[in-house]
Structure 1
C-alpha cells in the first residue's frame, strides 16, 4: 500500500468535505485513482500524463494532506508537482488514454468510470475544475526548477 490506511481515510474525508453528498465508496475510489496517478507520473516522468477532472479531485485531497503527500512522493523517489490549468478547449482525450495505458503497464486497472472527459459529470460532480491540457501535463521534478519569467 502506497498510503497508510489512516492517511487514506483522511484524504477520503477531504474529498467528501469538498463534495457534499458524495458517497464514502466513491470518494475512496477517487483517492485510489489519484494515488495510482501520482505513482505512474513518478515512474514515467517524460510521458506527459494527466488526470481526469474527477481523479484530480483526489489528487487535490492528497496534496492538502502535505505530510501524506510528501511521504508518498518520497517513497516514489520523486516529488510530483501539480500544474493546474483550466481550458476545456484544450482537452485532448489521447492524454487520458495514454495515462490509463501507463497505469495498466504498471499492473493496475484504471477505474474506467473515473477517467472520462471533463464534461462527463454524469457519474459524479466534483469541486476540482482543473483541466490539465497538453501545455500543462504533469512533469515530476526531483529538484525544484527556477520560475520561467
Structure 2
C-alpha cells in the first residue's frame, strides 16, 4: 500500500493538519492527520480517474478544504498528479447523498493503491467526528460533475 502522507513534505502535511485543527476547536492532532491523509487519497483518486463521479465524505471534505487553503502546496500536489482537481462547493442536502458514490470513491482510492480509513468514509449522518465543512458535491451524469480535474498546465502557482 502507498503512503499518502509522502505526497507532501513533512512540514506541509503538519501545516495542513494544523489548519484542520484550527478550523475545528477541540479536535486532536491525530484525528486531523487522519482526515488530511484521507483527503490526499481522495485528490489522488480524483486526478487518476477524472471522468468518474466521486465525492469525499463530509469529514474528508474538511481535509480537502484545508489542502486547498494552502494554495501553493495544493497546486504543487496537483501538478505532481498531472491534473488540477477543482473544488466546486454546494450547500449540503441529505436528499442528494448517494451512498454508492462514497462506495465508488473508496473503491477508486483502493484501486489507486491506498488503504482507506473506513471510519472517515461514512455518510453525513454517521460521521466519526464533527467538522465545520458545510458543503457537499453532487456528481452529474457523464462525468465527475463538481469534482472537476483539469490539466495542471492551465493553472499557475497558488496565490
In the superposition, the TM-score normalised over structure 2's length comes to 0.86
What's the C-alpha RMSD, in Å, of the aligned pairs?
1.2
Q: Distance in 2 between matches of 1:53 and 1:138?
A: 14
Residue 80 of structure 1 aligns to a residue whose secondary structure is strand
1:1-149 matches, within 5 Å, as: 1-85=6-90, 86-121=92-127, 123-135=128-140, 136-142=145-151, 143=154
Residue 85 of structure 2 aligns to a residue whose secondary structure is coil
Q: Distance in 2 between matches of 1:82 and 1:44?
A: 15
How many residues are paired up? Answer: 143
Listed one character per residue, the Cα deviations across residues 66-88 of structure 1 (whole Å, up to 9, x for unaligned) are: 01101100100111000111222
Residue 134 of structure 1 aligns to a residue whose secondary structure is coil
Listed one character per residue, the Cα deviations across residues 92-135 of structure 1 (whole Å, up to 9, x for unaligned) are: 000000000001111111110000001223x2100001122234
Query: After the TM superposition, which segments of 4 or more aligned residues of structure 1 sit over 4 Å from their partners?
Result: none
Residue 8 of structure 1 aligns to a residue whose secondary structure is helix
